[in-house]
Amino acid sequence: ENTPPIDWEKQEVFEFHFDLGISPDIDVNISKKDKVNEYHISVTEEMIDKQVEDNARRFAIFEPSEIVAEEDMVKGDLCEISEHGHVHDHEHEHDHDHDHDHDHDHQHEIHAHGAMIHVLSIADENIKKQFIGAGVNDTIVFNPKIAFPNDTDRAALLKISKEQAMEINGDFEFTISEVSRFKPAEIDQSLFDKTYGVGEIDSMEAYRTRVREDIDRRYSRESRYKFHVETKEKLMAKTEVPLPEAFLKRWMLATSTDEKLTPEQLEQEFPAFGLDLKWRMIKNHFINEVKIEATEEEIREQAVWTAQSRYFQYGIYDAPVEQLFRFADALLKNNEEKQKIADVILENKVIDHVKTLIKVDEKEVSLEDFNKLTD
């Protein structure tokens, strides 16, 4: 902005003004006087019992039943009752061949054929009690908006759009055609095979040992994450990183891909940006000082773990290895995803290195106490 106007045709000497952003040298002042707690969560017999039960429920089956219980799945026809108290007697079509304008969405009562209701998921206790003890061919009258307050869930039940579901607020008649009883798997060799693979586990003792190892591994990740966060906070608190705020703000406005970014928005976002930049500079200090690298083999291993974590988010805990490898390969073909994965590895290695420089106080805690620490 300080560069004078330039006449490219007549001038022979040109004057330019530049802002230079130079990364400062930083001194990370940590030693064995700095302490960070590292927690190990005790795995109890009760935790193992619960996980065994959860595994049995995970491989549960549904058996036909005549009378509805709280955990049953109930199938039937769900028909809207008109304002005159009549039940619509023909099916309201919902398929790809019909487009409904919003003006006509609710001209006809709704009939959801073969609707499925998990009794346990009914939000209203009084409506839930109507279902419990009912039998095949029984009819129950209830308001779906009260039973299922979530618009998306209600739309799925009624087989209509979310927008239509938001307008529904009246009674429906549900006639039960099938009752399926939730039955957890027997805790026997069949469950061992389903959980860990055929022939991997051959006794209850071995099964519980494997379950214990799984629980310990899962909570070790949580413990490691807490250690990671606290170590990072310690480094941030003990390291002075002078940031040229005025320059950085000008640079962010000039280079932002968000054309709508205003100076006012920037002021709000800058503190978080400053903290992130400070951490990156501290991290890069160690990466350069001790020559930390992420190898291709490590990146691929981390990509597989990232793929597995994403499946976990959707409740899929036993995705085939070949499927994980394909997912990992797809991630690594995306340069941005690959760089994120490499950054995770580098940051973990930085924390591992810092762990050797500080005092680590190991503590054995219960899961309950650990959760209190993370609240």
- State which amino acid sits at residue 313: Q
State the chain's mean pLDDT as an integer: 88
Specify the pLDDT at position 3.
Answer: 62
14-18, 265-269, 349-353, 369-373, range with the lowest pLDDT: 14-18
CA distance 141 to 338: 54
Q: Tell me whether strands 139-142 and 172-183 are parallel, antiparallel or unpaired.
A: antiparallel
Query: Is the predicted pLDDT of residue 97 greater than 50, yes or no?
Result: no
Residue 36 sits at φ, ψ, to 5 deg, of: -135, 135
Mean predicted confidence (pLDDT) in 26-35: 91
Band of residue 2 on the pLDDT scale cut at 50, 70, 90? low
Band of residue 269 on the pLDDT scale cut at 50, 70, 90? confident
Q: Tell me whether strands 172-183 and 73-80 are parallel, antiparallel or unpaired.
A: antiparallel
Specify the pLDDT at position 101.
Answer: 42
Structural contact between residues 141 and 169, judged by C-beta atoms closer than 8 angstroms: no
Q: Tell me whether strands 111-118 and 359-365 are parallel, antiparallel or unpaired.
A: unpaired
Structural contact between residues 158 and 78, judged by C-beta atoms closer than 8 angstroms: yes
Query: Is the predicted pLDDT of residue 286 greater than 50, yes or no?
Result: yes
* HEC per residue, 4-27: CCCCCCCCCCCCCCCCCCCCCCCC
Residues 6 or more apart whose Cβ sits within 8 Å of residue 144: 78, 154, 157, 158, 168, 172
- State which amino acid sits at residue 225: Y
CA distance 96 to 101: 14
* β-pair partners for 183: 61
Query: Is the predicted pLDDT of residue 326 greater than 90, yes or no?
Result: yes
Query: Is the predicted pLDDT of residue 100 greater than 60, yes or no?
Result: no
Query: Is the predicted pLDDT of residue 11 greater than 90, yes or no?
Result: no
Query: Is the predicted pLDDT of residue 374 greater than 90, yes or no?
Result: no
Supply the DSSP symbol for 121. Answer: G
Supply the DSSP symbol for 70. Answer: T
263's tokens: 């100076």
Specify the pLDDT at position 188.
Answer: 96
219's tokens: 């909570």
Specify the pLDDT at position 105.
Answer: 42
Mean predicted confidence (pLDDT) in 35-64: 95
Specify the pLDDT at position 21.
Answer: 67
Domain 35-43+218-374: state its class.
mainly alpha
Positions of E strands within the chain: 35-41, 61-65, 73-80, 111-118, 139-142, 172-183, 359-365
Please provide the CATH number assigned to the domain covering 61-93+106-183. Answer: 3.10.50
Query: Is the predicted pLDDT of residue 59 greater than 80, yes or no?
Result: yes
Specify the pLDDT at position 318.
Answer: 72
Which helix (H) or strand (E) segment holds residue 316: the answer is none
Mean predicted confidence (pLDDT) in 40-54: 97
Domain range annotation of the chain: 35-43+218-374, 61-93+106-183
Query: Is the predicted pLDDT of residue 199 greater than 70, yes or no?
Result: yes
Mean predicted confidence (pLDDT) in 202-218: 96
Query: Is the predicted pLDDT of residue 294 greater than 60, yes or no?
Result: yes
Pick the more confident residue, 137 or 268: 137
CA distance 279 to 346: 13
